[in-house]
Structure 1
Amino acid sequence: MNIDQSFYIGYVSKTRGLKGEVQLFFEFDDYQELDLDVIFFEVNKKLVPYFTEEIKLHKNSTAYATFEDIDHIDKAQALVRKKMYLPNDKMPERDPEDFRYSDLVGYMVIDENEGELGEIVHVQEMPQQFMATVDMDGKELLFPLSDDLILGIDAEEKVIGVELPEGLVDLYR
C-alpha cells in the first residue's frame, strides 16, 4: 500500500513501560470511529502494517497500544515519531451536513476591504477559538475563525468571506 492509497491519522508520541506499549497521538478528528486492528507506519517512506494486540482510547486524542511482535521497550522505541496511516477504504463516512472548521483548509479567503488574501493552509484549535493560517504571498497570516469576522462560506466555490479588523492584514505585509 502506498501513502496516496491511505489517509494520515497521527503519530506515535512515546513509549510507555518496558513491555513495548506506546502512546499514540491522533490528528484525525473522529479517531474514536476508526478501525484500528491494523495500523500502517511510515518507515523509510514505505507503509509497514502493524497488527494491534490491544488499544485503549482516551478522550484527549491519545491512546495506549500494544502491537504483535513489539514486546520490549527497545522494539517500541523504533516506532516513536512514526506517522500512522489507514487505508482509504477505512475512512469513516461523515454526514455532509457536518461541517467543521478543519474543512476550511484549501478555501480562498476574501476580505471585505483588502480583497483576495490567499488560501487557508492550516486550521488549529486554540484554548479559546480556532485559528486559520493563510498563505498570503508566501507569508503566514493568522486570524481567528469567529462568527463576528466571517461574512459567509461558499462550500461549492471553496471561498470564505471575512471582514478582518482594520490593520490586521497590514501587520503581515
Structure 2
Amino acid sequence: MKLDQCFQLGVVLKPHGLKGELYISLDTDYPEDYQEMESVFMLQNGKLVPFFIEHIQLKNKEALVKFEDVEDKEDALSLRGNTLHLPLTDLPELTGNQFYFHEIDGFKIEDTEKGVLGIVKEVFEAGHQDLIGMEYQGKEVLIPINDEVILDVDRNNKLLRVSLPEGLLELYLEEDEKEDED
C-alpha cells in the first residue's frame, strides 16, 4: 500500500495507562463509521505499517485503541505523533455537493457568469478556510470552499459549478497589473 492510495484518518495522541492503549484523534465528521475497523496503516519512517486493532472505544472525535503487539506504555509512547491511514477505497461514497478533496483533482471549474475558468490543480487545507487552487489566465487563483461558492459537483462530467465572489478573479489579475506598473 502506498501513501497516495490512502487517506489520513487520524493521529496517535498519547498513551493511556500501562497496557499499551492509545488515544487517537480521528479527522472525520463521522467517527462512528470507523467503530468496527479491524486494522489501520500507521506511517512509520516513511512506510505504511499495518496495525491490527484489539478493541476501540469512540468518544466524539477521539478514540481509545488497543493495537495488537503494543503491550506497554513504552511501546505506546514510541507511536505518539504517527499518522493513521486507510485505503481510499474505504472512504464512504459521498453524494450531492459533498466531495473529498482528492476526488476533485482535475475537475473543470465553471462559473455561473463567466463559464469554464480552468481545472482544479490542488486543494489547500488552511484550517479555517479550505481553498481550491486553479490556474486562470496564467495565474493561480484560490477559490474558497463553501456552500455559497460550490453550487454543484458533477462527478460524471468531472465538473464543479461555482458562483465566485464578485471581484475574485479581478483581484488576482490586478496583482499582475500592479507588478507591471512597478
TM above 0.5: yes
Pairing of 1:85-96 with structure 2 (within 5 A): 85-86=85-86, 91=90, 94=93
Flag the structure with larger Rg. Answer: 2
Provide the rounded CA distance (Å) in 2 between the counterparts of 1:48 and 1:169.
Answer: 44
In structure 1, what is the equivalent of residue 16 of structure 2?
Answer: 17
Provide the rounded CA distance (Å) in 2 between the counterparts of 1:101 and 1:123.
Answer: 16
The CA deviation at 1:15 is 0.6
In structure 2, what is the equivalent of residue 33 of structure 1?
Answer: 33
Give RMSD over aligned pairs. Answer: 3.5
Provide the rounded CA distance (Å) in 2 between the counterparts of 1:126 and 1:21.
Answer: 29
Provide the rounded CA distance (Å) in 2 between the counterparts of 1:32 and 1:58.
Answer: 9
Between the two proteins, the alignment pairs up a number of residues equal to 164
- Aligned with 2:99: secondary structure? helix
Percent identity over the alignment is: 23
Cα 1:41–1:168 change in 2 (3 A) is: same
Structure 2: unaligned runs, 5 residues or longer: 174-182
TM-score where L is the length of structure 1 = 0.70
TM-score where L is the length of structure 2 = 0.67
Cα 1:59–1:172 change in 2 (3 A) is: farther
In structure 2, what is the equivalent of residue 42 of structure 1?
Answer: 43
Letter in 2 for 1:3: K
1:101 aligned to 2:102? Answer: no
In structure 1, what is the equivalent of residue 58 of structure 2?
Answer: 57
In structure 1, what is the equivalent of residue 161 of structure 2?
Answer: 161
Structure 1: unaligned runs, 5 residues or longer: none
Looking at secondary structure, tell me which structure has more helix per residue: 2
